[in-house]
Chain A
Amino acid sequence: MGIDTPMKDRVFKSVGTRPTRPDGIDKVTGRARYGADFNMPGQLHGSILRSPHAHASIKSIDTTKAEKLKGVKAVVTSKDFKTKGITDPDLLDIIDNCMASKTAYYDGHAVAAVAAVDAKTARAALKLIKVVYKKLKHVTDVDEAMSPGAPLINKKCFTQGVEPAPTKASNIAVRSEFGHGNVSEGFQQADIVIKRTYKTGQSHQGYIEPHACVASISPDGSGEMWVCTQGHFVFRQQCAEILGLDAAKLRVTSSEIGGGFGGKTHLWLEPVALLLSRKANRPVKLVMSREDVFRASGPTSTTSIDVKMGVTKDGVITAAEAELRYASGPYAGAWASYGAMTSFACYDLKNVKTVGLDILVNRPKTTAYRAPSAPMAAFAVESMIDELADRIDMDAIDLRIKNAAKEGTRSSYGPVYGPIGIGATLDAAKKHPHMKAPLGPNQGRGMACGFWFNFGGQSCTDLNISPDGTATLTFGTIDVGGARASMSLVVAEELGIPYDKVKAVIADTGSLGHNEMTDGSRGTFASSMSAIRSCRLAIDDMRQRAATMWDIDLDDVTWENGHAHAGGSSGSNHAPLSIADIAARAHKTGGPIAGHAQIVADGAGVSFATHICDIEVDPDTGQTRVVRYTVIQDAGKAVHPTYVEGQFQGGAAQGIGWALNEEYIYGKDGRLENPGFLDYRIPVCSDLPMIDTQILEIPNPNHPYGIRGVGETSIVPPLAAIGNAVSNATHVRMTQVPMSAPRILSAIHANKDSD
């Protein structure tokens, strides 16, 4: 088998089993080291001063008193960031977000930082920093930010993606457009056309571990950083550019990670820690509080979305159109384009047009959150599909099946699909016992579909065979959802050795080539592809060693079940050699046995899911209870089914929280009123039923084992599935997320009044 041989009807031995995760015991006993668990000798305590204003220009910052306080070793402001020579606008935005220069753009925007001998001194020093602000008018609502007369957040913001380029600045940062066909003609062919506006609140990933790092820069220009991140190689690259260091001289080690969900793909405090360390010439530890995490890390966008769809009486969707407005915080983003691309991706449409608009507002800079931007678009579109089905008196699942995309469909965002799983998830949903289960009083059932692209990209792995024949896989994508278990399974499968003879280790940036992040559902997909290649290179090497040991031709050595077998004329004279046998003689046959691979993983394979849920609504209080929830998703091939199920359940749980309660709440003063888990309500265990899962395996033809990413798609359908269930329970169409009890009760009352 060649190193790139694709899978075909492969029977797996290790892949698809459910062994205990290798990092499990350390994690449940507290031995595993997370971001804040690491310390360096002589380390200082870092602390950040943040703007109390939603929007203010910074007139002056006086740090002299803080600098004179005993125990303070360094104070930094935006002046300490040298941006000369940096041209990448994204990097400049990162720097401005890490430390406000001229303007504080949101409540919580960093304006200064100190490093001191202890937390108490650092706190006292922050109080001695005098910042003179001039308060500016602010805007936090996405639609208000677009209205004439809204305060302009960036005077140099001329909408990108518009030809000719506008000459007047606005809060519309980016416009993107996708689609094909002619929607006006399509709407004329429809019997029913519905147009609605949907809104979603701003949600946060709510990872349990706050951002944390320890940074140390030596006077010789080399440095080290220990950090909780989804991608230490990318962090190294960006931090090196910001600090003006050679990337190779900054060694970044990723800690264990207490959740990321996209929120740890971005720099929030790491450059500040490095700068403090360089200035103080001491290691500096910087840890965010929960309040800091809410106010000043990267939640997802609040949105406002117009959808218009037309359908014939017999259930053909003739046209679909959407304008999606996504708030991106004070800096331009590409978030609305993801919403615009994913919104109609589940369907085979002749006429479709979507426009995405990224809008600047005085809220924190948004970042990725699990299938970023797709859940809000799906909420709008999947809610409308339910309503259309109701209007033509067709079962909502049949309308979806009738219009589902399939192999060969031109997607709403451009590419033509290969083999995809939307039809299969819908068929499975239709057959699922959940669909036929009786509903109790005040209960409603809803369903929704979801799509996510999945990403591939650069990965790099080393496979080293120890002298005792055990294997170490060194890889560069951090383990946030069971990557070490999955990689170990893949290596065990490929080499033909037991799972517990493999150790999977995540390398620091000094030990491997560049790896992209654990994001875009790429970790298992891309790193396993590279790991398989590493294994196959090592197997080739071991076949060569066996040939040497036996003194026969390489072509006469085959590899099967973890052993070299002698074939050809001399075959019967030699007992097969195990990896341990070959490794034991490695010092005589050419030295250590290894396989190094580096790849750009192409063909991640798009992913689809269908969710079903039952909700009970108390008609007198608007209180909701999730009674039953089922996730059906295509995994390509589930490497470790338990962790695939975990991803399905986790995405659903986060989506349920977002749908029902989670929301950034801003006061009239533009300050965040709920920067804590008491009033930013992620679901607790007792809020959720056991989430049932069904894994479908439609192999990805581009991966040697057929693997598709599974991490993100599961958060796409829940907002709509819950919206549809609540609407069916109350007979009132819900168009705003979160569907909190006050909103549901008010909708019920408004409906009664209009009857």
Chain B
Amino acid sequence: MQYLAPEKTADAVKLLAKSKGQVHLLAGGSDLLVRMKGGYIEPDVIIDIKRIKPMQDIKKTATGFNIGAAVSCAQMGDHKALRRAWPGVVEAANLIGSDQIQGRCTVAGNLCNASPAADSVPALIAAKAVAIVKGPKGTRRVPVENFATAPGKTCLKKGEIVESIQLPKRAAKMADAYLRFIPRTEMDIAVVSAAVNLTLGPRGVITAARVALGAVAPTAILIPEANKILKGDKLTEESLESLAEVCSAACKPINDKRGTIDFRTHVAGVLATRAARLAYTRAGGKL
């Protein structure tokens, strides 16, 4: 096994493009090392991205935030401005694993791992986040909802790498929230999850809404109907009921060791309404 640690994104792309056999990128390693230790994969080449400067920081830019691919979730939790602007994204990122894992795991890794139950992904989708992908043919901007294509599969092509994740700029009266169901209180994997991102106008009227669900389909999914339901009114019992219905209707879950189809379908609606309430009050709305 070869271990490579480039210091530039372009070098990482070159190494990735030319390496043969099983090639894996290493960010925090909280998925990769577990799979290696369990004997599920035996990589030929590991490319560590933690030494690449542009991947190490969270930057506040004119258009929002740029989160480098090697930024740990703990770093996100420590970033006051990010926390204020995107409380839902940060709380989702901070729910992954234990305190020790938090110091290593990354949202870019969470995205690339392409688990339908990834905690940060529904929140990123609701946030309209974009993955900045560098490859042999240049840079692509991929909306997060299009990134994963199936469980464990992404849209990345040979030689491509996620350099950062961009979050839009925030104004007043905008807020997001993320909730998940787990059988215990921490260190678990979402059985169902929901993220809601709301923009309020005058008098608490919702002007834009993005709702995403996790662990109810092969990939985390955006619920486009939610915008139509929630937009143009305050958050009312009727709109919440409709939101729960469209969310449950959009679910295509499976029965597995973590939950049943019925459970996931019902609880997706419950969590979406609870996350909507949370986002609404965070944005200054009154219930």
B185 touches A123 (CB 8 A): no
Residues of chain A within 8 A of B256, CB atoms compared: 673
CB of B262 within 8 Å of the partner chain:
yes
Q: How far is the CA of A291 from the CA of B34 in the complex (A)?
A: 13
Considering the complex, give the chain B residue whose CB is closest to the CB of A622.
Answer: B263
Q: Which of A586-625 contact B (CB under 8 A)?
A: 620-623
Q: Check: B267 CB closer than 8 A to any chain A CB.
A: yes
Which positions 655-699 of chain A face chain B at CB distance < 8 Å?
660-661, 665, 673-674, 678-679, 681, 683-684, 686-687
The A/B interface has a contact count, at CB < 8 Å, of 52
For window 725-752 of chain A, which residues contact chain B by CB distance below 8 Å? 740-742, 745-746, 749
Determine how close the nearest CB of chain A comes to the CB of B271; give it in whole angstroms: 8
Let me know if A684 and B186 touch, CB within 8 A.
yes
Nearest to B187 among chain A residues (CB) is A684
Task: Kindly state whether residue B148 has any CB partner on chain A within 8 Å.
Answer: no
Which size class do B's interface residues fall under? 20 to 34
- Identify which of B39, B185, B260, B271 contacts A742 (C-beta below 8 A): B260
Q: Is B157 an interface residue (CB 8 A)?
A: no
CB nearest neighbor in A for B37: A289
Shortest distance between the CB of B223 and any CB in chain A (Å): 19
Find residues 203-256 in chain B having any chain A CB closer than 8 Å to their own CB.
256
Proximity bits, B104-139, A CB within 8 Å = 1, else 0: 000000000000000000000000000000000000
Nearest chain A CB to B6 CB, angstrom units: 28
- Choose among A291, A674, A684 the residue with the greatest number of B CB atoms under 10 Å from its CB: A684
Is A687 a contact partner of B189 (Cβ separation < 8 A)? Answer: no
Kindly state whether residue B184 has any CB partner on chain A within 8 Å: yes
**Cβ contact within 8 Å between B189 and A678:** yes
Q: Chain B residues near A623 (CB, 8 Å)? A: 181
Q: How far apart are A327's CB and chain B's nearest CB, in angstroms?
A: 19
Tell me which residues from 286 to 328 in chain A have a Cβ below 8 Å from any Cβ of chain B.
Answer: 291
- Contact, CB under 8 Å: A742 / B263: yes
Query: Given A746-B260, A746-B262, does the pair A741, B185 have CB atoms closer than 8 Å?
Result: no
Asked if B262 and A684 make an inter-chain contact with CB atoms under 8 angstroms apart, the answer reads no
Cβ-defined partner of B188 (8 Å) among A681, A742, A746: A681
**Cβ–Cβ contact A740 & B257, under 8 A:** no
A684 in contact with B185 given A621-B270, A673-B257, A742-B260 (CB within 8 Å): yes
Whole-angstrom distance from the CB of A674 to the nearest CB of chain B? 5
Shortest Cβ distance from A293 into chain B, in angstroms? 14
Q: How far is the CA of A679 from the CA of B117 in the complex (A)?
A: 14
- B105 → chain A closest CB, angstroms: 15
The residue of chain A having its C-beta at the shortest distance from the C-beta of B189 within the complex is A678
Residue of A nearest to B261 (CB): A742
Question: Which residues 158-214 in B have Cβ within 8 Å of A in the complex?
Answer: 181, 183-189, 191
A123–B38 alpha-carbon span in the complex (Å): 12
* Alpha-carbon distance between A383 and B62 when the two chains are bound, in angstroms: 63
How many whole Å from A680's CB to the nearest CB in chain B?
9
A686 and B186 in contact, given A665-B257, A674-B257, A746-B260 (Cβ under 8 angstroms): yes
Chain B residues with CB under 8 A of A123 = 39
User: Contact at B181–A741, with CB atoms within 8 Å?
Assistant: yes
A749–B265 Cα distance when bound, in Å, is 13
Q: Are A746 and B263 in contact (CB under 8 A)?
A: yes
Contact B267 A621 (CB under 8 A): yes
The chain B residue sitting closest to A673, CB to CB, is B257
Find chain A residues with CB under 8 A from B259 CB: 742
Contact A686 B181 (CB under 8 A): no
Chain A residues with Cβ below 8 Å from B266 are 745, 749
Chain A interface residue number, banded = 20 to 34
* CB of B244 to closest CB in A, whole Å: 10
Does chain A have a CB within 8 A of B258?
yes
A622 to B185, CA, bound (A): 14
Complex interface bits, A622-665 against B, C-beta within 8 A gives 1, otherwise 0: 11000000000000000000000000000000000000110001
Chain A interface mostly helix, strand, loop or mixed? loop
In the complex formed, the residue of A with least CB distance to B42 is A123
A678 to B256, CA, bound (A): 14
Bound-complex Cα distance A687 to B182 (A): 11
B181, B257, B270 — most chain A CB neighbours (10 Å): B257
CB distance from B214 to the nearest CB of A (A): 15
Q: Which residues from A are CB-within-8-Å of B191?
A: 741
Smallest CB-CB separation from A742: which chain B residue? B263
Complex CA distance for A683 and B185, rounded to whole angstroms:
9
- Contacts A674-B257, A746-B262, A746-B263; is A620 near B185 (CB within 8 Å)? no
Task: List A contacts of B39 (CB < 8 A).
Answer: 123
A173 to chain B, nearest CB (A): 29
* Contact across chains for B186 and A741 when beta carbons are under 8 A apart: no
Rounded to whole angstroms, the CA-CA distance of A661 and B191 in the bound complex is 13
A678 to B31, CA, bound (A): 13
Give the CA-CA distance A4 to B174 in the complex, in Å: 79
A14–B38 Cα distance when bound, in Å, is 49
Q: Would you give the shortest CB distance from A398 to chain B, in whole angstroms?
A: 35
**How far, in angstroms, from A683 to B182 measured CA to CA in the complex?**
12
User: Within the assembled complex, what's the spacing in Å between the Cα atoms of A621 and B264?
Assistant: 9
Q: Which residues of B contact A740 (CB under 8 A)?
A: 183
Q: Complex: how many Å from CA A746 to CA B261?
A: 11
A370→B181 CA distance, assembly (Å): 31
Q: Which residues on the B side are within 8 Å of A678 (C-beta)?
A: 188-189
Asked if B184 and A741 sit within 8 Å, CB to CB, the answer is no
For A681, list chain B residues within 8 Å (CB): 183-184, 188
What residues of chain B lie closer than 8 Å to A749, measured between beta carbons? 262, 266
Contacts A620-B270, A674-B257 known; A687 to B263 CB distance under 8 Å?
no
Note all chain B residues with C-beta closer than 8 A to A661.
183-184
> B187: which A residues are within 8 A, CB to CB?
684
> How close is A95's CB to chain B, nearest CB, in angstroms?
28
Cβ of A38 to closest chain B Cβ, rounded Å: 22
The residues of B that contact A742 with a CB separation of less than 8 Å are 259-260, 262-263
Partner of B263, one of A665, A683, A684, A745: A745
In angstroms, Cα B189 to Cα A119, docked, is 31
Q: Are B185 and A686 within 8 A (Cβ)?
A: yes
A291–B40 alpha-carbon span in the complex (Å): 13
Complex: chain A residue closest to B264, CB-CB: A742
**Within the assembled complex, what's the spacing in Å between the Cα atoms of A686 and B183?**
12
> How far, in whole Å, are A660 and B260 apart by their CA atoms in the complex?
16
Measured CB to CB, the nearest residue on chain A to B256 is A673
Q: Bound complex: CA of A661 vs CA of B259, how far in Å? A: 12
- Interface of chain A residues 390 through 449 with chain B (CB within 8 A): none
Contact A687 B185 (CB under 8 A): yes
Q: How far is the CB of A204 from chain B (nearest CB, A)?
A: 15
What is the distance, in angstroms, from B140's C-beta to the closest C-beta of chain A? 34
The minimal Cβ–Cβ distance linking B97 to chain A, given in whole angstroms, is 10
> What distance in Å separates the Cβ of A125 from its nearest Cβ neighbour in chain B?
14
Question: Within the assembled complex, what's the spacing in Å between the Cα atoms of A622 and B182?
Answer: 11
Q: A623-B181, A679-B257, A681-B184 are in contact. Are A741 and B263 (CB under 8 A)?
A: yes
- Residues of chain B with a CB closer than 8 A to A741's CB: 181, 183, 191, 263
Give, as a whole number of angstroms, the nearest-CB distance from A203 to chain B: 15
Nearest-neighbour CB distance to chain B for A385, whole angstroms, equals 28
Q: How far is the CB of A425 from chain B (nearest CB, A)?
A: 30
* CB-based nearest B residue for A289: B38
B184 and A687 contacting across the interface, CB-CB below 8 Å: yes
Q: Complex Cα distance A745/B191, Å?
A: 14
Selected contact of B181 from candidates A621, A660, A665, A746, CB within 8 Å: A621
What's the least CB distance linking A44 to chain B, in Å? Answer: 20
* Chain B residue with Cβ nearest A667: B257
**B contact residues around A686 at 8 Å (CB):** 184-186
Chain B residues contacting A684 (CB-CB under 8 Å) are 184-187
Chain A, residue nearest B184 (CB): A687
A665 nearest CB neighbor, chain B only? B257
Query: Can you show 15 pairs from A to B with CB atoms below 8 A apart?
Result: A620-B267, A620-B270, A621-B271, A622-B263, A623-B181, A673-B257, A681-B183, A683-B184, A684-B185, A686-B186, A741-B183, A741-B191, A742-B263, A745-B263, A746-B260
Q: A684-B184, A684-B185, A687-B184 are in contact. List 9 more A-B contacts (CB 8 A).
A: A620-B267, A660-B183, A665-B257, A681-B183, A686-B186, A741-B191, A741-B263, A742-B259, A745-B262
- Across chains A and B, which 3 residue pairs bring their CB atoms closest together, nearest first? A742-B263, A686-B185, A665-B257
